[in-house]
Amino acid sequence: MTELAAAGALPKPKRDILPVLLPVILALAMAPLIGSGSSWVTLTVASLAMGMMIFIMASGLTLVFGLMDVLNFGHGAFIAVGAYVATLVLLPLAPYVQADSLLTNLAVLAPAALLSMAVSGALGLVVERVLILPVYGQHLKQILMTTGGLIVAEQALYALWGPQIIPLPLPTSLRGSFIIGDIAIAKYRLLAMLVGLVVFAGIQLVLNRTKIGLLIRAGVENREMVEALGYRIRRLFLGVFMVGSGLAGLGGVMWALYREQVHASMGNDLTVLVFIVVIIGGLGSIGGCFIGALLVAMVANYGGFLVPKLALVSNILLMVAILMWRPRGLYAVTSR
Amino acid sequence: MTDLLSLAGVHTHVGRYHILQGIDFGVAEGQTTMLLGRNGAGKTSTLRTIMGLWQASAGQISLDGQRIERSATPDIARLGVGYVPESMAVFSDLSVKENLVLAARDGPLDDARLDWIFGFFPALRRFWLSRAGALSGGQKQMLSIARAIVEPRKLLLIDEPTKGLAPAIVVALIECLAEIKRRGATILMVEQNFHAAQELGDTVLVMDNGKIVHRGEMALLALDVALQERLLGLSLETHQ
Ligand SMILES: Nc1ncnc2c1ncn2[C@@H]1O[C@H](COP(=O)(O)OP(=O)(O)O)[C@@H](O)[C@H]1O
Ligand SMILES: [Mg+2]
């Protein structure tokens, strides 16, 4: 037994912080190019806010893939459904949305967001049981089923709400900016950042401090072994799928308010975006997803400012660059 | 002596491969049964089939009188089976502690039992909060075994625990398994290291090409060098 004791000191676990530094480096590198300090602050805040919203939308997708290898090309449907459901609350209660009181605004915004999450989460339950359960382990069929699901959802939204764009004005107290010197910081962007941070912290807390979270992390690495320890991973997966769908719904509400409009095509558009984020981050990694979302948003904002023509391809370029550096994404999840 | 585990006419197909071709054997309660055989004989497949990770295409598997060949892996585990896979399968992103917290599914970690485990594997105490991925191969094997015994289990399935480990660690591991055995555990263990098999085994099964080709007392096989060579061939010399 002495040999075991003499096994020597453990190599200090290397924390891979390079990806974490990436957004910081990018932001600092952009400062001289952008020139004006106030523009840089505005763009950086816009990037952070947009990044947080994208993270909220993408977080469920990365865990769903990490845990069960499920490719859900219909994730955007939960985003769009979330946005539409919010209009059910926010449009009839427009007077409260227009009232110039933060408390009144939040009193309608919060239930709208919760309802959206609940409906998207419930839809997640149905989708998992009906579309995904029958095609576990078959990627091609998953892509076909979920892409089909997205088309059906989009058409259903058109049928229910019509093809027109629905305006969704920001609540009055969230309009405008805080002005500090010559720097303007949009209030809604601050709120979006705050919500994004809360969601990120919440996910980290669950993943690191609860047994369910440990099971999710263990399952992402080796689901067979989680089952061999006696845990029913399918049930765990269903829970993750529902929470991920609910978060996508929340992201949808936030995105719709950010754009101040709702349209059924947003599901489709955002599916591409969140997939890029999830791939950049490393399929299955929440931390990678967070950084990936920030990077995508930064490239969109800084890039849009500096080289507007690049906007259409900037995400793809970013993805290619990251994958050339790290072929499995920023944080490759082990044993996959 | 009653059999805690028994297999009767078990076949396993993986894709279009017919891997287990009619396996019959019993594992007596309180005994250590060694499963030997050359690479590719089907030893790992046998453990995987018992564990439900691959579903038997024919035959019966009973654990403690209950049929399990159609059961899902988590249900089989919950009947009291601890599994130490060939790959060890520690959760490298989790700490040593977190690995054991998950393995203790019936409640919080039991301190007395942990002390007992730390007695064999002091390294686990030392690296309690370290990432399991940073452990050495031997330490990962210790963690994998600790996971299987962190709560009392009826049956332990252990796949090649000494594989790839330094000789000094192998000696310590054999001591530990012998102690687990003295505590009355029922073990079905795959082992290529004949020395380890001889130290620990009560009975022995030898597999080849997906079938059991020999069964008997471990002590008798240990004495019969000619039989060893016939059954196990070169694998003995290379793994001595
Ligand atoms: N995933 C798999 N798919 C197809 N064949 C497999 C797979 N795993 C193992 N086999 C085959 O099954 C046979 C038995 O393998 P295994 O049980 O791992 O043998 P052992 O553990 O005795 O070395 C081998 O011929 C091997 O090639
Ligand atoms: Mg094997």
With 50 as the cut, is the pLDDT of residue A166 above it?
Answer: yes
Distance B40 CA to ligand 1 centre (A): 5
Task: Report the residue count for chain A.
Answer: 336
Whether the per-residue pLDDT at A53 is higher than 50: the answer is yes
Cβ partners under 8 Å of residue A90, min gap 6: A97, A108, A109, A112, A168
Query: pLDDT exceeding 90 applies to what percent of chain A?
Result: 77
Long-range contacts of A97-101 (CB under 8 A, 24+ apart): A97/A169, A97/A171, A97/A172, A98/A169, A98/A171, A98/A172, A99/A172, A100/A172, A100/A173, A101/A173
Q: Is residue A314 a part of any domain in this protein?
A: yes
Q: Which atom of ligand 1 is the closest one to the Cα of B160? A: 21
Beta bridge partners of B131: B95
Of B77, B122, B138, the CB nearest to A229: B77
The domain tally of chain B equals 1
10 Å Cβ neighbour count for B4? Answer: 21
Report the chain A residue with the minimal C-alpha distance to residue B104: A229
Q: For the domain that residue B25 is a member of, what is the CATH number?
A: 3.40.50.300
Q: By residue range, what is the domain housing residue A239?
A: 37-325
If we measure between CA atoms, which residue out of A256, A250, A264, A247 comes closest to residue A111? A250
Chain B residues within 8 A of A237 when measuring between CB atoms: none
Rounded to the nearest 5 percent, the helix, strand and coil shares of chain B are: 40, 30, 30
Of A183-187, B184-188, B218-222, highest mean pLDDT: B184-188
Q: Which ligand is nearest to the CA of B160?
A: 2
Cβ distance of B102 and A13 shorter than 8 Å: no
Report which residue type is found at A33.
L
Q: What mean pLDDT comes out for the span B199-207?
A: 94
Is residue B150 within 8 Å of residue B104, measured between CB atoms? yes
Question: What is the structure's pLDDT at A9?
Answer: 52
| Residue A11 placed within a domain | no
Q: Does residue B123 sit within a domain?
A: no
Atom 16 of ligand 1, nearest CA residue: B42
Contact A13 B134 (CB under 8 A): yes
* Residues in A touching B159 (Cβ below 8 Å): none
Q: Rounded distance, CA B166 to CA B92, Å?
A: 21
Q: Which tokens hold the place of B146?
A: 């600790």
pLDDT band at residue A6 under the 50/70/90 scheme: very low
Residue A16: pLDDT band (50, 70, 90) is confident
Q: Are A246 and A124 in contact (CB under 8 A)?
A: yes
Cβ-Cβ contacts under 8 Å, A225 against chain B = 85, 89, 91
Does the C-beta of B205 come closer than 6 Å to ligand 1? no
CA distances from A172 to A89, A239, B169 (A): 16, 36, 69
Determine, yes or no, domain membership for A27: no
Helix (H) or strand (E) holding A147: helix A139-161
Query: Residue A94 domain-assigned?
Result: yes
In a domain, B234, yes or no: yes
Q: Is residue B18 part of a domain?
A: yes
Total domains in the fold of chain A: 1
- Is residue B107 in a domain? no
pLDDT in tens, A232-259: 999 999 999 999 999 999 999 999 999 9
Q: Is B22 domain-assigned?
A: yes
Judge if the beta carbon of residue B16 lies within 6 A of ligand 1. no
- DSSP H helices, B185-224, are 194-200, 218-223
Does residue A31 form part of some domain? no
pLDDT at A139 over 60: yes
Tokens, residue A318? 């970013």
Tell me B93's DSSP state.
Answer: T
Chain A partners within 8 Å of B134 (Cβ): 10-11, 13
pLDDT tens figures, A186-218:
999 999 999 999 999 999 999 999 999 999 999
Q: How confident is the model at residue B101 (pLDDT cuts 50, 70, 90)?
A: very high
B44 within ligand 1 shell (Cβ under 6 A): yes
- pLDDT tens digit sequence for B224-237: 888 888 888 754 44
B83: its two tokens: 């599994």
Q: How far apart are CA B62 and CA B80, in angstroms?
A: 13
Quote the CA–CA distance of A332 and A327 in Å, as a whole number.
9
Q: Nearest to residue B28, comparing CAs of B7, B50, B3? A: B3
Asked if residue B173 belongs to a domain, the reply is: no
pLDDT of residue A162: 92
Q: Which residues contact B38 (CB under 8 A, 6 or more apart)?
A: B208, B232, B233, B234, B235
Determine if ligand 1 sits within 6 Å of the CB of residue B42: yes
B14 close to ligand 1 (CB < 6 Angstrom): yes
Tell me whether residues A232 and B74 touch, CB distance under 8 A. Answer: yes
Give me the torsion for CA of B129, B131, B137, B141, rounded to 10°.
Answer: 60
Q: Tell me what the mean pLDDT of segment A131-148 comes to.
A: 92
Q: Which residues of A touch B138 (CB under 8 A)?
A: 4, 7
CATH number of the CATH domain containing A308: 1.10.3470
B43 pocket-lining for ligand 1 (C-beta < 6 Å) = yes
Decide the pairing of beta strands A177-180 and B155-159: unpaired
Is B67 part of any domain?
Answer: yes
Of the candidates A10, A13, A229, which has its C-beta nearest B102's C-beta?
Answer: A229
Mean pLDDT calculated for residue range A42-71: 93
- Across B184-200, b (16+ Cβ under 10 Å) vs e yields ebbbbbbbbbbbbbbbb
pLDDT at A252: 96
**What does the alpha-carbon distance between residue A68 and residue A62 come to, in Å, rounded to a whole number?**
10
CA–CA distance, A293 with B142 (Å, rounded to integer): 39
* CA-angle at B164, arms to B159 and B168, nearest 5°: 105
Mean pLDDT of B208-220: 93
Please report the pLDDT score of residue A1 as a whole number: 39
For A302-327, what is each residue's pLDDT tens digit?
998 998 888 778 889 999 999 999 99
pLDDT band for position A294 (cuts 50, 70, 90): very high
Cα(A139) to ligand 2 centroid in Å equals 28
- Structure confidence at residue A4 as a pLDDT band (50, 70, 90): very low
Range of the domain at B12: 1-80+156-167+188-240
